[in-house]
Amino acid sequence: MPGQADGQPVGYGPRGPADDHTFAMLSYLLSIVAGLLAPLVIYLIKMNESGYVRYHAAQALNLGITALVYTFGSFMAALFLGVLTKGAGFLLIFPLILVIGVGELVFLILGAVAANRGELYRVPTVACLPMVH
């Protein structure tokens, strides 16, 4: 039958690199909307199918976890300074969380663009601690 390869039904079979590029890009872009859940789901589903998607999903997941840790640490530091300075330290939390959020957004966009181009983008270690491989 035309369109069949190796006895598989039409529409099934090995996917091309465009599919991997799309999933790798989505692991970054969906992080903006769904947080840690999107790259975690993509990582768990694609980890054994594509090393390329696994790499990018791990990068997005590491970036999200690192941003969460930095946000929690900033909150705790601002809370501690707020108690010591009778409330003035609480003013620190807003600029810190803003910087963390903007930094995460910038690296997510850079990673998504690189993933769509087929490049292995590595987020700097300061912004993305390597926890998931």
pTM strictly above 0.85: no
Helices (H), the chain: 17-34, 37-46, 51-84, 93-117
Instruction: For the chain, give the mean pLDDT.
Output: 83
pLDDT of residue 99: 92
How far is 25 from 112, CA to CA, in rounded Å? 5
pLDDT at 100 over 80: yes
Question: Rg of the Cα trace of the chain?
Answer: 20
List pLDDT tens digits, range 15-62: 566 788 899 999 999 999 998 999 999 999 988 888 889 999 999 999
